[in-house]
Each structure stands twice: as C-alpha cells, then as structure tokens.
Structure 1
Amino acid sequence: MDDETFNISLRKFLKMVGVSSQREIEQAVAKALQANAIRGSESFPATMTLRIQGLQLHVTFDGEIRLE
C-alpha cells in the first residue's frame, strides 16, 4: 500500500462528499423556504451513512442541522 496515494485519494473523497453534501442541504433548505414549507428557525436531525463494501464498512453518523 502506498500511504501517500491512499491519503490523497481519501482526502479527495471526503472533500467531494463534504462540498456536495453542503450544496445539497443548502439547496433543499432554500427550496423549502421558498415553498413556505419551513419557517427558517427549525432544527433537523441528520444522518450520514458511510459504506465501503470492499472493506465491510458501514458506519452511521448522527447530528443536527440548525437554521438558527
């Protein structure tokens, strides 16, 4: 295993997930606000699941996204 290659690819993957996830959440909030489906003061429980089948890895991360 090449540690440098592994670390670089892992960081690229995590950056892509972080940036893409943030964009999707921001768009969903904007759409819900525009449709008056939310007020803009809510908090939302959130779950992120990481699966890597080749490693038999399945981990869930729980958190909260607050608008105020």
Structure 2
Amino acid sequence: MDRFRRSLIGYYNYYCITDNTQSVNKFRDKIGYLLFKWLNRRSQRKSFTWDKFRLLFNKYPLPYARVKHALCRGY
C-alpha cells in the first residue's frame, strides 16, 4: 500500500493542474478498483470481499488529488 501511495503522490505532482483534479480523482478510484481485483487474483478463492477491502482502505487510505500547479491566479 505504501508503494501505491507513493506512486499516486508522484502522479498527482505531475498531473494535478488547475481544472484537472476531477479526472485525477477518477484515476484514484480506478486504481482502488484495480487493486481490489488484483488482490483477489492471489488465490483460487476470492480472498477479499468489498467489506474487507474497505477495512483495508480505511487503514491505509490513498491520498486525494489537490491542485499542485495552478495555471490561473484564482487557485
């Protein structure tokens, strides 16, 4: 989870400009879904339900996007 967190922060530092945070937050949600899917591929049985995955996500939350580079003065 720490690696995903660091990767997302790097992605945010590069792509979070003015008016792009909504798209970047959609990317964060997609990463969460893919992480759930990847963790369930580790065995023949599904090792994670959505409830268990939400508990994991509450313990190790992924950061949300914030504007890092403002192209307009209003931000």
> What TM-score, normalized by structure 2, do the two folds share?
0.40
Q: Whose radius of gyration is greater, 1 or 2?
A: 1
Q: Which has the higher strand share?
A: 1
Q: Which has the higher helix share?
A: 2
Which structure is richer in relative contact order (CA contacts within 8 A, separation 6 or more)? 2
> What TM-score, normalized by structure 1, do the two folds share?
0.43
